[in-house]
Amino acid sequence: MTIITFVTPWYGPDAPGGAEAETRRLVGQLRRAGVAVEVLTTTTRDLYADWGRDYYPAGATTIDGVTVRRFPVGRRNRAAFDAINARLMAGRAIPAADERVYIEEMIRVPALYDFMANEAAGRLYVFIPYLFATTYFGAQVCPERSVIIPCLHDESYARLGLYREVLPRVRALVFHTAAEQALADRLFPGHAGQIREVLGEGVDTDTAGDGDRFRHRYGLDGPFVLYAGRREPGKNTPLLLDYWARYWQAGGRARGAQLVLLGPGDVALPPDAAGFRSWLCARPGQARRLRRGRRLLPAIGQRELLHRPDGELAGRDAGPRPRRLRRDRGALPPGQRRPLLCRLRRVRRHT
């Protein structure tokens, strides 16, 4: 029996992020379908924790009926990593030597790769997402028994040479959208014999929420727009705040409209934060309850090829993007303020 083994940098019921949520759902659905499934991960807590410090104890545990094996992380040069990562976040190219520093000082977890090598014969490894060291190093242990769900964005990280060493050589790449596959084909050619398939992603539809109760709990009396996601430049949160400030000045104030920010991050609200509400981190279920009470959920990230809450987006430079945006009717190209303001006014008139 082959064990489907997911490899991801962190795993837990409260770990924030789209790839993290997808991993939990896939693992749970496979278990309920009777498939043998396990998770290999590190002892770090989540994306926002210190990746060189253990949070969970090392060893095997069980979460929702699934065996989760955690491996200890080693010390890293966080300052060196952060300096290079800041340049990548700004969209700047870096030399090959800095690429090595970036990946080697990200997450150090050698015991994970030793375990994978020893256990490879009975497992199919599924790595998610592409850009972390657990995927880069782990997928090289046994590439013929490795599948990557890259969750690929059109971003500077995807253009690093080090990923061209790994992604084209594993057994298969699995994509959420055709636009994501098209981007991968451009960035990572030369994949003769490799399986590349668009399988999409499951979305739970049996959830229920109480928008009125949530409004009462958090004092939301008037109309509001919900942003659900990390508050960071990579998600284009500063641009959204600028758009909202302009909308507020152009008439949103008179309606008492508010922009509600749901999620962690370090993008601060403007000094004059009238019309803004923020929760630093949502517990599981809060986002669903809050979405029941909103009229519009903006998605203006510049890089995403898939936006989980409201559907699929094609990323910057991806061919299907304008057609896909028009089809969704609620998704707006980043950098275009007037369409967002017009959409807000339209929703206001018809609700």
Domain 3-198: CATH class, spelled out: alpha beta
Name the burial class of residue 136, with classes exposed (0-12), middle (13-18) and buried (19+) by CB atoms within 10 angstroms of its CB. Answer: buried
Domain 211-300+335-349 sits in CATH at 3.40.50.2000
Long-range contacts, 328-332 (Cβ 8 Å, 24+): 330/296, 330/297, 330/299, 331/299, 331/307, 332/298, 332/299, 332/300
Please, where in the chain does CATH 3.40.50.2000 lie? 211-300+335-349
Residue 322 confidence (pLDDT)? 44
The closest of 344, 241, 247 to 295, measured between CA atoms, is 344
Residue 239 confidence (pLDDT)? 84
Residue 121 confidence (pLDDT)? 94
Residue 44 confidence (pLDDT)? 96
Q: Which residues of the chain have pLDDT under 70?
A: 252-255, 270-351
pLDDT tens-digit readout, 246-279: 877 777 665 677 788 877 777 777 666 566 665 4
The closest of 192, 157, 171, 181 to 319, measured between CA atoms, is 181
Residue 337 confidence (pLDDT)? 53
pLDDT tens-digit readout, 29-49: 999 999 999 999 999 999 989
- The pTM assigned to this predicted structure is 0.77
The closest of 140, 292, 129, 327 to 207, measured between CA atoms, is 292
